Chains A and B, each alone.
Chain A
Amino acid sequence: MRLKKNISVDALQVILALVLLALGLFFGLMAAHSYTKPGFWKEALGFVKLRPLHVTSVVLWIILAAQSFVNIALQNITGKKIPGLLGGNRLLLAIAAIIAIFYSYFSAKFGGREYMEFPPVFAWFLTLVWLFQLASMLYLVKHLSTKPVYIWMWFTGSIFLLITFAENYAWLLPFVRKTTITDMTLQWKSAGSMVGAWNQMIYGLATYLMTKLNNESKPAESKAAYAMYFLGLANLMFNWGHHVYTLPVAHWVRYLSYAVSMTEWIIFLRIVKNWNKGVKPRQDIRRLLSYRFIMAADVWVLCNLFLALCMSIPAINLFTHGTHITVAHSMGTTIGINTMILLGVCCHYLEEKNLLAPSKLLNVGWWGIQISLAIFWISLLTSGVVRGMWQMQHAQAPFANMMLSLHTVYRVFAYSGSLLMVSFLLVLIPLMIKWSKNVIQIEILGKKNV
């Protein structure tokens, strides 16, 4: 029996993803201060650079973390390792993409669209990252049972991420770019579906985590689980039209997305029903940070899903569209749901190896995140309601007057954002240190990895 030292590419990618989250929080905080201090560094840095820096950092955190955690799960399930050629190249391409994108933002070399403001040529790096990811997953698929729903979710999520990412660049085609409405419709179609695609991966991870924590595979193999999966998939494909209700699109596009969006009430009512059942968790898992993050995500799902369902009703959307209620929804879901689930999985992999135990610092960080996120979310909703009322007024006051009236709300937004960042760092820094212990893995040759 021989021992072999391996560098875990996925552990390195997890650390990179955690660093991106920390950077995203920092840039977000700086961007928030553009609201409280008008003209804040507007020539040197400014909102025009800070917003894409913040958004891209956070999107890359979600994508890279989801990739790594799915890979670790698949390798654990199958007992096989992803070949170094696939994993190593994927990571190097991701690093190259990040350096190129950040350079372009800091030097104000834009050219892309919302959420991907970097020059389109850098999109090739990200496309190759996803192709390597798909290749890694397909390499492992022959060893997989397709019973658990999370396997289906990971694969469909990865495939749709690639499809929607490519669709996001349809504007490169001259016949699309020359249109006013079709171009915008396609842009928001792909952006909406892309979010649905990475949600498939993340909710798959949440399902996987719950089966591991409860030591029960049945919830991931039941008919109800598959019904929810197909419902989510149908929404990914057809409900994006709620982004473009106010565009001059065809009536039937509005009605189709309205109808499909309303099917998510089924998910909402199911969550409420499960809560009412009052199933108590085992004592041994209640203190685990992974469990606490997943439970927090459950609460945020309820709040944000209710908000999203209301916003998906066109009559209400008319009021909320173009306001910070949309931002409350996007931040509430990105932080409250996606980040909470990913951090839950992140903690679980450490807890499995006894590298993470509950501590006072982590407890303070966890509570700080929940409380500051709640204040942050409510401040965004408040500013959204005021702006919504302003934009529906028959005789509108000047835009600057409306923004000035929200000065106190924006200060609450910025300061709660500062507290959010500090609370996250209390959790992220220990996680980064502990994951660094995972980078070098000892493999016992001749035995399967578990």
Chain B
Amino acid sequence: MEVELKPLLRYPSGKPAKRSAYYKLGILSVLFAAYLLYSTHIMFENRGYADEQFSAGKMVWQKYNCQSCHQLYGLGGYLGPDVTHVYKKGGPVYIKAVVQTGNITMPAFKLNNQELDDLVYFLKKMNESGNADPRKFSIKADGCISPP
């Protein structure tokens, strides 16, 4: 006696799905599950945990759109220099002076004292978070790189 196997999947129109549709959905599901796992790991990894003042300084950085011209770890706009290690190179007084007076390319920003302190603290923490100087990386035989 022959038994008709009912298809597990149907198209939205009601037609039974062919085997290839099962394969495609299977691959999609596996990829998506891996993606969700990966994304969750990245989000909860908690690399470089700082504090409330750091968060406030980041909001100042965003409020004045510093990223339009400057980079952190080489990511941002390219009209100005990378400022990941500006705290180490110039110090808090230098940062406050440049932000408040500007230069030929950079406008003068009117930040209040709290905003200036928060921004300086943000840049201090970014300086401590790692190395953004490409000269200090080492190149491996497989083409990958390794920070100092």
Which chain A positions have C-beta within 8 A of B54?
178, 180
Q: How far is the CA of A238 from the CA of B135 in the complex (A)?
A: 27
A181 partner, pick from B71, B130, B135, B140, beta carbons under 8 A = B130
A313-362 contacts to B (CB < 8 Å): 313-315, 317-319, 321-324, 326-327
> Nearest Cβ in chain A — how far from B109, in angstroms?
9
Q: How far is the CA of A305 from the CA of B28 in the complex (A)?
A: 25
Known pairs A141-B12, A182-B47, A233-B31; A110 contacts B24 (CB<8 A): no
A216 part of interface (Cβ distance < 8 Å): no
Q: How far is the CA of A157 from the CA of B136 in the complex (A)?
A: 39
Given contacts A117-B65, A180-B54, A186-B43, list 17 more A-B pairs with CB under 8 A: A43-B107, A52-B65, A111-B59, A114-B75, A117-B68, A156-B28, A180-B129, A182-B46, A184-B75, A246-B73, A246-B132, A248-B47, A255-B144, A315-B139, A315-B143, A322-B71, A327-B78
B49-66 contacts to A (CB < 8 Å): 49-52, 54-55, 58-59, 62-65
**CB pairs A–B below 8 angstroms (29 shown):** A39-B104, A47-B77, A48-B64, A48-B68, A108-B65, A110-B62, A110-B65, A114-B67, A117-B67, A167-B39, A171-B58, A180-B50, A182-B42, A230-B27, A244-B73, A247-B73, A248-B47, A248-B130, A248-B131, A251-B146, A258-B143, A313-B143, A314-B139, A315-B145, A318-B137, A322-B78, A322-B82, A387-B78, A392-B134
Interface string of A412-424 (1 = CB under 8 A from B): 0000000000000
A171, A243, A322 pick with most chain B CB within 10 angstroms: A322
Which chain A positions have C-beta within 8 A of B69?
47-48, 51
B75 partner, pick from A143, A243, A254, A258, beta carbons under 8 A = A243
Which chain B positions have C-beta within 8 A of A117?
62, 65, 67-68
> Nearest Cβ in chain A — how far from B3, in angstroms?
28
B95-128 contacts to A (CB < 8 Å): 102, 104-107, 125-126
A156-185 contacts to B (CB < 8 Å): 156, 167, 170-171, 174-185
A226 partner, pick from B24, B42, B81, B129, beta carbons under 8 A = B24
Which chain B positions have C-beta within 8 A of A247?
73, 130
Q: How far is the CA of A322 from the CA of B135 in the complex (A)?
A: 13
Interface string of A134-156 (1 = CB under 8 A from B): 00000001111110000010001
**A179 and B47 contact, CB distance less than 8 A:** yes
B90 part of interface (Cβ distance < 8 Å): no
Give B contacts to A, CB under 8 Å.
11-13, 21, 24, 27-28, 31, 34-35, 38-39, 42-43, 45-52, 54-55, 58-59, 62-65, 67-69, 71-82, 102, 104-107, 125-126, 129-132, 134-135, 137, 139-140, 143-147
**B105 and A170 contact, CB distance less than 8 A:** no
> Nearest Cβ in chain A — how far from B44, in angstroms?
8
**A248 and B147 contact, CB distance less than 8 A:** yes
Known pairs A181-B129, A327-B78; A237 contacts B71 (CB<8 A): no
Which chain A positions have C-beta within 8 A of B65?
48-49, 52, 108, 110, 117
Known pairs A182-B45, A246-B132; A189 contacts B77 (CB<8 A): no
Q: How far is the CA of A387 from the CA of B58 in the complex (A)?
A: 27
> Nearest Cβ in chain B — how far from A37, in angstroms?
10
A: contact size bracket: 35 or more
**B75 and A238 contact, CB distance less than 8 A:** no
**B134 and A321 contact, CB distance less than 8 A:** yes
Which chain B positions have C-beta within 8 A of A48?
64-65, 68-69, 107
> Nearest Cβ in chain B — how far from A394, in angstroms?
7
Q: How far is the CA of A143 from the CA of B78 in the complex (A)?
A: 48
**A179 and B62 contact, CB distance less than 8 A:** no
**B68 and A188 contact, CB distance less than 8 A:** no
Which chain B residue lies CB-closest to A40?
B105
Known pairs A144-B12, A179-B50; A111 contacts B62 (CB<8 A): yes
Q: How far is the CA of A51 from the CA of B24 in the complex (A)?
A: 41
